[in-house]
Structure 1
Amino acid sequence: MPHLAGNFAPVTDELTAYDLPVTGAIPPELSGWYLRNGPNPKDADSPHWFFGDGMVHGVRLDGGRAVSYRNRWVRTSTFTDGVRVRGENGQRDLTAGAANTHVVRHAGRTLALVESSFPYEIDCRPGHELETLGVHDFGGRLTTAMTAHPKTCPTTGELHFFGYGGITPPYLTYHRADAAGELVISRPIDVPGHTMMHDFHLTARHVVFMDLPVVFNRNRPGMPYGWEPEYGARLGVLRRDDPYGEVRWLPIDPCYVFHALNAHDDGDQRIVLYVSRYAEYGDNVPAFLWRWTLDLASGTVTEEQLDDHFTEFPRVDDRLAGQEARFGYAASGLSLGADRNPGALLRYDLHTGAVARHDFGPGRIPGEAAFAPADDRPGGPGWLITYVYDATTDTSDLVVLDAEDISADPVATVPLPQRVPYGFHGNWIPDPVS
C-alpha cells in the first residue's frame, strides 16, 4: 500500500544518538528541541496513513551543537493494550488513540495530539528521553476528544481548542484553557452532522469553525469520512468575549481544508482567514493557498485563490497567531498521501503577494517547517526548521533555513542516524528561560 512504502514506510527502531555532525553552523541562539510527530505503526501495518501509532522524532540543539537525536513511540493505551473504542463502562474510550498528529507546548506541558482522543504528555526536559508521562485530560475536566490543532493566544496565553466526533450530538464542543493550563470553558455547539473538522481559526476577538462536507459514515469501509458536497460548507463565528453566545454561520463554496495558515480581525466587521484549500476531499486533489474575507455586516464571504503552487502544512511565527502576520510559510512537494517533486519551502508575503522559494533539489522532500525566533520581536528574524528526506540515499536531515532569506543555502544541515518517515506536525520547543 502506498502509505507503507518509500518514505511513508515506518521505521522499526527507537534510537538515541549524540553529537551529530553539522554542515554549516547551528545558530547559538537555538537551545531546545525540534520535535515532529507522525504515524509509525509498531507492527509495520495500518489500514490508512492517518491511523499509525504516533512517533515523535526530536533533535536537541544547544550551544551551537546538534546535541542529540531521539525517536520514541508515544505510549498510548492503544499502543500498549491494543486498539479499542469502548472502555469497561461501555463509553467511548478517549484514552485510546494514536497520538500521531502534532506536538505542542502549553503551561509547561508538552502534549502529543490526535483529534480522536485525549492528549498524551511527553517529557522533553533537558536530559530526558521523550518518555510518555501519561494521558492528560485537564484533571478530568475534558470529556471530549481534543483537536490536534489548538491555538495559543499570544496576548492572554490561553489555549483554544475543540473536540468533534461521536455518534450522537453534540458533534462539536469548544474548549478554552487558561494560561496556567486549567480548562475553564467547554461549550457544546450545535452542528447538523458529524464532519471531519481538523483545524479552526483564532483571532484577537473571534473563534471561527469550519463545518465542511467531509462527513462520517460508520458503514463506509476504511476511512469512515467521505466527500458529501450536498452537506454544504460554512464558517461559524463566535466572539471570544461571549463564549456561550451565538455562533453566526456564513456559507461558502463546498471545499475542504485540513490546515489554516493564520487569521486576524480587520476592523470591527471583517475577519481575514488564510487556508490551504482543496476543491474537494479525495486522493491526488491539490491544495492551494486561499484567502477568505468574512464581512460580518453583510454576512458574506469573499473567496480568493492567492497562488498556483501546490502547498500544504502552512505556518506562521506562532507569536502572531490570531494577529496580522505579514509572512507565512508552507511546504510544496509533500501532499497528504503522495510525494511530488520538486520539494520546496515557500515564504509568502501576504501584503505584496510575493513568493520566495527554497528548492531542496531532486528527490529531496521537506516536511512542515516550524518557525524558531531569533529574538523577542514577533514577526522578526528567525529560522525555519524541518526534516528533509533524500530519496536518492534513503536518508533524512534536519535542515535550518534563514526565514528572512529562504532562498539562500541552508544555515545548517544535520544528517540523522536513521530515516525520518513523512509525518505531520511539530514545533520548536525552546528551553525554559531560567
Structure 2
Amino acid sequence: MEELTTYELPVSGAIPPELTGWYLRNGPNPRDAASAHWFFGDGMVHGVRLEGGKAVSYRNRWVRTSTFTDGAPVRDGQGRADLTAGVANTHVVHHAGRTLALVESSFPYELDCRPGHELETVGPYDFDGRLTTAMTAHPKTCPTTGELHFFGYGAAEPPYLTYHRADASGALVVSRPVEVGAPTMMHDFHLTAGHVVFMDLPLVYDRQARGMPYGWDAEYGARLGVLRRDDPHGDIRWFAIDPCYVFHSLNAYDDGRGRIVLYVCRYPALELKSLPTLWRWTVDLTSGKVVEEQVDDQSGEFPRIDDRLAGLDARFGHITRAGGPGAGPTPGALIRYDLHTGTSTRHDFGPGRTPAEAAFAPADDRPGGPGWLLTYVYDASKDTSDLVILDADDISGGPVATVHLPQRVPYGFHGNWIADPAR
C-alpha cells in the first residue's frame, strides 16, 4: 500500500460542524507484504482531517521506527532489548500535548500532527529517559486528574511487569515492579477512580512457539491484581478467576460499596475457534471473591466508551461485531450497550461491509453526553473504505455522514478522535 495525501474528500450526508480535529487509527501493514504474524506488521496510521463540516484530507503514513527505517533488531549483540526497535502498530493516543503511536513491546513513537507536518514521525519517546520498560498499547487517562496510567511487560527476566504513572503534564512520576508467576502476555488492564487492576492470565511466554512467542497454559491459572491508586507502591491483592483470556477491557469502576465492577471482552480460551463475548466481573474487596457473569452471547471485540468517563460508572459502551476465526459469515455491526438497563441496540453496516473499532467523539463538554461514533468500514464490493459517522444516541439509524476514502484501509487495531485544542 502506498502513502497518500488526498484533499477535499467526497461526503454522503452532513459532517457535524462541531467535529474539528483528526480521526486517527493505527494498524499493522508490512512494508514488504510479509510477516510471521499479523501482529508483527509495520505500523501505519490512517488519518482523516475534519473541519467546518468538511472532510479536509486523508493521509496514511508508516511510523518511521528504527525497525522500519534501519531494520534494527529487537536485541543487540549482548542480548539486551532495544526498546526503540518496534513496529508501533497497535494504537495512537494523545496525552499532555503529544500524539503517540504504541505497541506493547517497545517505547512509543511520537507523531507530529501540526498543520503542515501531519503524521510525520518525530521519534521514540521515553518520558525524558525515565521509562526503562516497554509501554502497553492501552494506557488509561484519568478524567479527574489527567494522569496517564500504563504498564510494561517483558519476558527476558524479572520483573516481568512494571506499573507506571505519568502526571497531567506528561512527567513520569511512578514506576514500580509487580511480581507475577511467569512472563505472560498482558495486553490491557483496568483503571477506576481508586484502583488499578492487572489481569494475570494464562497466555505464557513460550520461546518454542511459532509466530507469536506465547502459548495457552490453563494450568497457570488466572487472577486479577488490585492496587490502590493512593498507595502505588503498596501491596497488590490477587483474586482468582476462571481461566480465560482478555485482550480488551471496556471499562471499570468502584461501586461505592467495596466492590470493583469490570467489563471485558472475554475469550474462554485463546484457541482458533474461540470468540469473545461481553462479561462483567465484580470484585468484592471485603469477601475476597469475584462474581463472573456473561452479559451477552453475541461475539464482539474492540470495546470503547466515552473516554471522559474512564474509570467511572459509564452507562454506555460499544463493541464491534466483525466476525473472526470460526465465526462464518458474521454480519458487520456495531453494538451499543446500556450497562445500567442491560439492553442493547445495533447498527448493521450491510453485506460485505466490515467495520473496525469505533471511537467516541463528544458533541459538547458533558461526559456521557451526546456525541458520535467514528469507524473505518471496508466495502468488499468496491475494495475501498469509508469513514462512517454515527449518532451515538441513535446508532440504529443511518449514518450521519460517510466520508469516501481514496483507497482501502487495511484491517487494523485502535485509534482515537483527537479534537483540536480549544482556542
TM-score range, shorter chain: over 0.9
Q: 2:80 aligns with which of 91, 95, 102?
A: 91
Partner-residue secondary structure (3-state), 2:330: strand
2:406 equivalent in structure 1: 417
Q: Per-residue CA shift, 1:13-59, capped at 9, x if unaligned?
A: 00000000000000000000000000000001101100000000000
Q: Per-residue CA shift, 1:64-87, capped at 9, x if unaligned?
A: 000000000000010011151223
Q: Structure 1 residues 338 and 44, CA, compared in 2 at 3 Å: closer, same or farther?
A: farther
1:67-78 → structure 2 map (5 Å cutoff): 67-78=56-67
Q: Residue 266 of structure 1 aligns to which amino acid in structure 2?
A: D
2:20 equivalent in structure 1: 31
Q: Per-residue CA shift, 1:129-183, capped at 9, x if unaligned?
A: 2000000000110000000000000000000000001311100000000000000
Matched, 1:148 2:144: no
Q: Residue 409 of structure 1 aligns to which amino acid in structure 2?
A: G
* TM-score for both structures, normalised by structure 1: 0.96
Hey, what's the Cα distance between the residues in 2 that align with 1:127 and 1:376? 28
1:167 equivalent in structure 2: 156
Matched, 1:254 2:264: no
Q: Structure 1 residues 381 and 345, CA, compared in 2 at 3 Å: closer, same or farther?
A: same
Q: Per-residue CA shift, 1:343-401, capped at 9, x if unaligned?
A: 00010000111110000000101000000000000000000000000111111000000
Percent of pairs with identical residues:
75
Q: Residue 315 of structure 1 aligns to which amino acid in structure 2?
A: R
Hey, what's the Cα distance between the residues in 2 that align with 1:54 and 1:60? 19
Hey, what's the Cα distance between the residues in 1 that align with 2:70 and 2:374? 34
1:311 equivalent in structure 2: 300
Find runs of 4+ consecutive structure 1 residues off by over 2 angstroms.
87-90, 126-129, 334-341
1:296 equivalent in structure 2: 285
Hey, what's the Cα distance between the residues in 1 that align with 2:198 and 2:326? 25
Partner-residue secondary structure (3-state), 1:341: coil
* TM-score for both structures, normalised by structure 2: 0.98
Partner-residue secondary structure (3-state), 2:76: coil
1:177 equivalent in structure 2: 166
Once the two structures are TM-superposed, the CA of residue 312 in structure 1 deviates from its matched residue by: 0.2
C-alpha contact (below 8 Å) 1:334/1:366 kept by paired residues: no
Partner-residue secondary structure (3-state), 1:355: strand
C-alpha contact (below 8 Å) 1:341/1:362 kept by paired residues: no
Matched, 1:327 2:316: yes
Q: Structure 1 residues 432 and 175, CA, compared in 2 at 3 Å: closer, same or farther?
A: same
1:59 equivalent in structure 2: 48
C-alpha contact (below 8 Å) 1:341/1:363 kept by paired residues: no
C-alpha contact (below 8 Å) 1:106/1:181 kept by paired residues: yes
Q: Structure 1 residues 337 and 262, CA, compared in 2 at 3 Å: closer, same or farther?
A: farther
Q: Point out where structure 2 has 5 or more consecutive residues left out of the alignment.
A: none
Q: 2:394 aligns with which of 395, 405, 415?
A: 405
C-alpha contact (below 8 Å) 1:339/1:365 kept by paired residues: no
1:346-365 → structure 2 map (5 Å cutoff): 346-365=335-354
1:118 equivalent in structure 2: 107
Q: Per-residue CA shift, 1:198-249, capped at 9, x if unaligned?
A: 0000000000000000000112222111110000000000000000000000
- How many residues align structurally? 423
C-alpha contact (below 8 Å) 1:176/1:185 kept by paired residues: yes
1:94-113 → structure 2 map (5 Å cutoff): 94-113=83-102
C-alpha contact (below 8 Å) 1:171/1:194 kept by paired residues: yes
